Each structure stands twice: as C-alpha cells, then as structure tokens.
Amino acid sequence: MKNNKQLAALIPYLFVLVAVMSLMFMNIGNTETDITYQEYVDLLNKEQVVTSNVTVSEVVLTIEGIYADSKGVQNVYSLTVPNTEFQNNTIIELINEKSKEVKVIDAYETNPFWDIVSNVLPLLIFGAFAFFMLSRMNGGNNNKAFEFGKSKARLEGAIKVRFEDVAGCDEEKEEMQELIEYLKNPKKFAKMGARIPKGVLMVGAPGTGKTLLAKAVAGEAEVPFYSISGSDFVEMFVGVGASRVRDMFKRAQATAPCIIFIDEIDAVGRQRGTGLGGGHDEREQTLNQLLVEMDGIQDNSGVVIVAATNRPDVLDPALLRPGRFDRQITVSLPDRKGREAILKVHARNKKLDSTVDLNALAKRTPGFSGADLENVLNEAAILAVRESADLITMNHLDEAIDRVMGGPAKKSKVYSDREKRLVAYHEVGHTIIGLKLESSDMVQKVTIIPRGQAGGYNLMTPREEKFMLTKTDLSARITGLLGGRVAEDIVFNEISTGASSDIERATKIAREMVMSYGMSDLGPIQYEHSGGNVFLGRDYSNSSNYSGQIAFEIDKEVRRIIDEAYDHAKRLIQENRELMDRLVDALLEFETLTAENIQNIVEGRAYNESAPVEGV
C-alpha cells in the first residue's frame, strides 16, 4: 500500500517529464536553417538540393527539404516565397529541373483522424492531470470532496498503550478492567445474564489522563480504537452530523469488538433547547441521532462507547440515563502517591541525576495533573539541554516547577531598592503565616525574582493532602493569603497593588464559606448554586433565591471573616517581627530561599548550613 501511494505521487512528475522530453525531441527533429530565395536558387543551380517539399497555398509557397553543403554534409532548410503566377511557374520549373526529389503538397489537404487526435489528446491529458491533482489536494481520510456525511473517526488498530503506562488512577483502572474482560470474552457475561454498559463517561479536569486511559483499555483488550472529537460531528449544514454518527456506528459494528472514543462530548451533547433564541438545530439533530444509535446497539454486541468531558453539568439528561452512558467514572487529580507514580512513568526516557528525588518532587506539586507533571519533566529536560548538562538535576526540576506555575523568571527586570524591599516583606509575610499558623500551608520556596505578572513568588503546599477542608483550614488559608498585605501595612505603613490577587482569592473563599458551605452565623443554608449560570438562555430570568436583607447579611459575614483573618495575620507578624526581618535580609541577599534555608534561619543557623544529625 505504501509503495502504491509513492507511485501515485510520482505520476504528476512523469507527466511533466514526458511533456518536456517530447518538446526536446520535437525541437531536435526540426532544427532547420532559414535561407533566402536567392540562396535557394544558388543551391539549385549548383545542384546541391537533395529534396524539395513544396507546400502550395493561396498566399505563399513554403519550401522545405535537405541540401548538401560543399563538404557533403546534409542540412535541413526552409524558406517562404510569395505565391504569384510568375514566381510560381519560375520556381516550380527550376525545382523540377535541378532538385533530385520533388514533392508538391496541398496546404489545405488534411488528415481528419490526425486533426481529431491532435486537438482532443492535449485536452484529455490536461483534464486527467487536473483531476488527479484535485484528488491529491483532497487526499487523506477525506479524499472525496463531497462526502460530508462520512465519519471523521480515526481508526487506530495496534494500540501500544497499556495500563502500566497510566499511573495515578488505580481505582479508575479497576472500573475499566471489566470492559477489557468483556471485550476479550463477551460470552462469559452473557452466560451470567450480565449486561455491560454501552457507554462509559469519564469526567475529570483537563490533563488527568482520560484519553490515555481509554487508549489503555483498547490496548489491553487488543481491539480497534475509533477516536473522534465532539466538534467533528457538527457542521454548517443541517443533517451532516447525524449522517456522520450513523456512518461511525455502522463502521464500528462491522469491526466489533471495538471501542468508540468521543473526546469533549459536551461539544455535541449539550442540553437541548437552551440558549438565547432556542437551540442549535444541527447540534441537536446530531445529539438525537447519537441517542438513537446508542439505543440501537444490541446488548453485548461488542461495541463500547467511551466519552470524556470536563463539563458533565452541561450534558443532556437523556445522554446519561441507563442504557446509554450509564456508568460515570471520575478521573480525579492524582494524590501524592499518584503523582510520584506518574513522574516515574514520564521519567523512563529522561536522564535523571542520582540525586533527583521524585517523592520530594511529588510533595511539591499538589494540584498538578498528569499533563502538568509531564510538562515539568519536559521543561527540566529542555533546561538541561540549554545548559549543555549531561543529566537532569533537582535544580532543573525546581526551576521547571516554577516555570509551569508562574512562567519564566524575568531576571532582567530592575527594581528600585524600595520596591525590592516591599516585595521581600510581602513574600516573607506569607512565609511567617505558613511557619507560625499550624493549619496553614507549608512554605516550600520564596523568591523575589519576578515571574509572569507577579513581582515575587511564594510556593506553599498543604502539610497533608485532605479529601475535604474544614472551616479552620479555610480560615487559615485566608489568613495566609492576607499575610503579604499585612506585612506591607506594618513595615511601610503603605499598601501596594501586589496583593490584588491574594485579596481576590481570599474574598472568593470567604464568600463560598458563607454562601455555599454554611460556615457562618447565617446557618447551613446554601444561597448560591454551584457551577454558576451555564446557559444564559436558561437562567436569564432567574433571580437570586434570597432577599435584599439576606444579601446585606452575607456581605457582613464575608467582611467579618476577612477582618478576623486580617487581625490574626497582623498579630502573628507583629509577634514574629524579628524573624521576619532576618528572613527579609537573607531574601534580599540571595533572592531565593528554599524550605531548608528558611528552617536554618528560623533555628538560628547559617543560610545554607546543614541541619545537625541527632545523636552527634
């Protein structure tokens, strides 16, 4: 097949080559010497003319032939003379007398067959060449320009991804294990009377490995894998998406057992009849056809539909009922153990230094998805190449984490001394809260090197990963966010715009505590729907489900939570002012402090002194 494609690609070049060679041979075969009438008469008188082909028309006489020069070398000649009665009689008599071979041709005598061939053949060649080029331009999986209704699903046969290539989601792999058993041996389930779900919906944040997990199932089961995005169904023309759905299921049933993977299914599976001005006809018809086709799949027929989305709240309820996508698997962000496993998977082809500690790296990256962790290792490898290093060190990985979270360091940016001290006190203010407030996050790194939009950077991670947060945890988080603003106020009696992001996040947490979590004096009442207004058309006329008096009470509670956290942060910083000054001095000198550096300063040791070993 590959050789045939290569030969087909050479056809246009063969056309061009043949045309060029034909022109060359035509030119070689028709190299003539134009001579004058007098020169031709002289050649006739000297009896050097071998052949003379006289073409007679009403206006001119065209004479072509061969003559021999003084050395006996034959040459092709050509000349044209006016066709007058005197000229005609004179030249014809001379030619008949002196030329060795004479042939008179009627200029109006033609060959009908050759005329047709000479006129039609170039058009046929040009038409064939144009058709071939248009076919090549519309090549690939959609090589027929008007086959809009054909499915765009890409078929992948030999999937090489296995479960060992997917880390950090052990529970999710257990849920998918049943699909593998079913695809390998469907009769075992039919014998027991069990019906495997026709559709499995994987829900999770971007980058958590939903697509990779679906491929791993196909790889473990060794079945064909049809992959398509939800947006590939929807077209400008109404009915095209529905046709593509029908064609996709028809192809899948012909190659069963197999897996159909629909990525970003929310692009086609959104609730019907929503939005200003009604729904979207093409998308809704496509969704209707998808529902019908899923109903049409016979139980245990060998076709499993796996879909992925990070917006399950916008999907149509009919898509999620039993018999369609009747199993939902939440692919969550990995915990510390999962992150370490993911790092080990992506580190297989990386040249890591022996000092690299992936466990410590996993502790420093809470909230990172699998894609984020892969990006960290890739950025570290790029940094190592940039420095012409032989191995990836922990310094490369630390910098890679900072680049992923805050962007590249802007080392060329120049601060004034006052700005530099203000940024240092701001960042150390967060650090003091992390050190002295037990429920707050731990400080891993603090720097005054600007990154992205931030003038400084403070990496704080939870002391332990929790499945849920308490009121104390959220209050401590607000206190930590306000630590930078408080430090500026205490030291400089001034506040800057650097705390805007911290204030925004703190206010959001406080408002959620009041309106969503019931963590205020207003009681366990939810005043706000989670997820917000997904569809403007559906929620346009909705009003808040609380009165103006309650709105006033909500604002009071949010302010109270923020004020209490601010006062708490102020007390902690004032009590530890001497420690804050020492940390600021070290930060201004070295620009970056790690958790070990900070601990040394807290315990009164030098900046980079090793901690004493117990018992020594």
Q: Quick one: the chain helix, strand, coil %, rounded to 5?
A: 50, 15, 35
Residue 24: which residues within 8 A CB-CB, separation 6 or more?
none
Query: Residue 363 corresponds to which tokens in the numbers above?
Result: 């502790």
Nearest in space to 248 (alpha carbons), one of 239, 259, 237: 259
Amino acid at 581: D
Dihedral (CA of 141, 311, 323, 283) sign: negative
**For residues 522 and 514, is the Cβ–Cβ distance under 8 A?**
yes
DSSP annotation of 530: T
Tally Cβ neighbours within 10 Å of residue 500: 11
Q: Are 377 and 343 in contact (CB under 8 A)?
A: yes
Phi, psi at residue 206, to the nearest 5°? Answer: -60, 140
Are the C-beta atoms of 294 and 199 separated by less than 8 Å?
A: yes
286 vs 526: CA distance, rounded Å: 37
How remote is the C-alpha of 395 from its chain's centroid?
Answer: 29
Is 427 tagged catalytic?
yes
Please tell me whether residue 60 adopts helix, strand or coil conformation.
strand
Produce one character per residue of 267-294: b if its CB has 16 or more CB atoms within 10 Å, e if not.
Answer: bbbbbbebeeeebbebbbbbbbbbbebb
Rounded to an integer, what distance in angstroms lies between the CA atom of residue 341 and that of residue 90?
Answer: 105
Spatial distance between the Cα atoms of 22 and 28, rounded to a whole number of angstroms: 10
CA angle 60, 62, 66 (to 5 degrees): 160
For 458, the token pair is 């403070």
- Alpha-carbon distance 327 to 323, whole Å? 9
Spell out the alpha helix ranges (H) of 307-440: 336-346, 358-363, 370-386, 394-406, 417-436
Rg of the chain on CA atoms, in Å? 41
Q: Of the residues 282, 427, 488, 557, which is catalytic?
A: 427
Rounded to 5 degrees, φ, ψ at 528 are -140, 135
- Write the CA distances from 517 to 527, 557, 561, integer angstroms: 9, 13, 14
CA distance 199 to 322: 9
Rounded distance between C-alpha atoms, residue 225 and residue 129, angstroms = 37
- Range 463-470, long-range pairs (CB < 8 A, 24+ positions): 465/335, 465/336, 465/366
SS3 state at 19: helix
Task: Give the three-class secondary structure for 43.
Answer: helix
Amino acid at 448: I
For the chain, give the number of residues. 616
Q: How far is CA 225 from CA 187, 280, 549, in A?
A: 21, 30, 57
Active site residues: 427
